[in-house]
Amino acid sequence: MNGFYNLLKPEGISSSHLVVRLRGMLRNKTGVKMKVGHLGTLDPLASGLLGVAVGSATKLFDYFLQKTKTYEAIVVLGEQTDTLDRAGKIVSTKAYLGVSEAEFIDASKAFIGEIMQIPPQYSAKSVGGVRAYKLALKGQDAPLKACCVTIYSIELIEKPSFNSFKFRVRCSGGTYVRSLCRDIGNALGYPAYMSFLERIENGDFRICDAVSLEDVEKDLSNGFVSLEEFGKKFPRLDYFEEHEKKLLNGVPLVVDLPDCFVTVYLKERFYAIGQIISGELKIVARDL
């Protein structure tokens, strides 16, 4: 199997735990040990879409790294936790006097576009070779540098309670929605934390097409997207007998295309996902 699973991650388990369970399930059902890896982690308290690559599709991780992601989140104003989500300890409070929907929308506009964002102390960012959250657990402040991320849109969905706002955000890879909640709160004059997070889009995957791990256990085809199906969005390159040996041996082929990903067919059968780099074809993920 070479392709992707479009999984629903429930709250309360880590992305890595879900991947380990899927890997074990695939091995038990197929008798083959496969490479399995997620395409962008979700915090344990977050839910929603988790794309998982299987087999040679794991080599396409870089394709998803900077893909646009869409989340729905709830920010709570008047308190801030050390983790910037509801799992942490309250470290800051301020009496909440009220914020209107119009004020929230106006404040969020300042974060549209490219912004510099400081990641949460409790994050997997590396500081001197040590994960920031490990330093935070020891009570040490990690000197995290601000990172450039892009916020494409912020849309207010509803006001679930007197001091909370639910919103939808489209953003680049690497964005911390927890940090965005903190920063919107600061712009409104209040400490803030994120109480809910659900990813509904990750690049080409949508939550409406996602399945649970239990669905996969019933039938391995549930939620599975083969490399060939995934590659239909890319330009198609056809090769025949005269190119077969070069393709099999990894010899670069000159292609008159700009840098992009492509679908490669050999003798009219799907062969691989490739990438054009400086006019040469590089095979990334073969349908072994």
Q: Are residues 76 and 190 in the same domain?
A: yes
Would you name the residues annotated as active-site residues? Answer: 43
pLDDT for res 20: 94
Q: Are residues 79 and 190 in the same domain?
A: yes
CB 24 within 8 A of CB 33: no
pLDDT for res 200: 97
Question: Mind listing the pLDDT tens digit for each residue in 30-88?
Answer: 998 999 999 888 888 999 999 999 999 999 888 887 789 999 999 999 999 999 999 99
Question: Mind listing the pLDDT tens digit for each residue in 100-148?
Answer: 999 999 999 999 999 999 888 766 666 656 665 565 566 667 677 888 9
pLDDT for res 212: 95
pLDDT for res 94: 98
Amino acid identity of residue 163, one-letter, is N
Q: What is the mean pLDDT of residues 18-22?
A: 94
Residue 275: which CATH number?
A: 2.30.130.60
Find the range with the poorest average confidence among 1-10, 101-110, 142-151, 179-188.
142-151
Question: Mind listing the pLDDT tens digit for each residue in 222-273?
Answer: 999 999 999 999 999 999 998 889 888 888 899 999 999 999 999 999 999 9
Distance CA 27, CA 256 (A): 41
Q: Are residues 34 and 54 in the same domain?
A: yes
Residue 23: which CATH number?
A: 3.30.2350.10
Q: Are residues 98 and 135 in the same domain?
A: yes
Range of the domain at 108: 71-195
Count up the domains in the chain and report the number: 3
Question: Mind listing the pLDDT tens digit for each residue in 156-176?
Answer: 999 999 999 999 999 998 899
pTM of the full predicted structure?
A: 0.89
